[in-house]
Structure 1
Amino acid sequence: MKKYINLATALIASLKPKSKIPIIDSYGESMLTQDEQQALMEWLFGSLMGAGYIGKAHLIWDDGKDREREIFTALMRNEPIFLYRQGARPTPTVEGYVWRLIGEHPSLRVYQLVVEGEED
């Protein structure tokens, strides 16, 4: 039942107009200092803009909680989803998708959600 509610919420969100300005929504509790969070956000904004993406992106502070609703919403809107791993390994994601490590970030804790099989 929960999966259907998440899917319905994501479907409704997909009908909203897309953002024309760069914005990153974040979910969860970060264990980083304010300066570390700001540096990560600046790096992420720079990476998105460097790739030519202007719009909304999503960052999950991996606190082990279920973020299926946020993931489905972003997927339905075709918006990039990132995860900052705070534990030993990232929390599993929705079926058919995997977290791909972004090796360009010096912490080696930043991942992007990609379709399973396209993680190269």
Structure 2
Amino acid sequence: MTLIKYLIAACALLPLASQAQASPAKLTVVSVKYQLAEQSSDKISDLLLAPVMRALQALPGVSGVRGDATHGTSKIDILFKDGPTRADRVLVENELDRLKLAPGLGVISRTVDLAEESASLR
């Protein structure tokens, strides 16, 4: 009898699980995150954020670039006219590889992903 109760409870939860899987988050931007050695947000804005955002704004298909710097980190969202694709992510990554950043900036890591637009950058 207990097994039947568990099966009934599991069947009742199935519609909830399928609804959660049916609506994945919409990927709306190519997101770039930098982790840096101890740097002030002003220094990150001047030496990293400004030149990177200028370069990314010039890429084909880009409709907007938004960025923010905090102590030791920087986040940039790149919006594309027709929504981002994997090819756009590769385009952004290749452009970032070409950029010559200021010496002594202390970049620890960089990630480039398709993501939802950051609420803090809207």
- TM value normalised by structure 2: 0.31
Structure with greater strand percent = 2
Structure with greater helix percent = 2
Specify which structure has the bigger relative contact order, considering alpha-carbon pairs within 8 angstroms and separated by 6 or more residues. 2
Pick the structure with greater CA Rg. 2
- TM value normalised by structure 1: 0.32
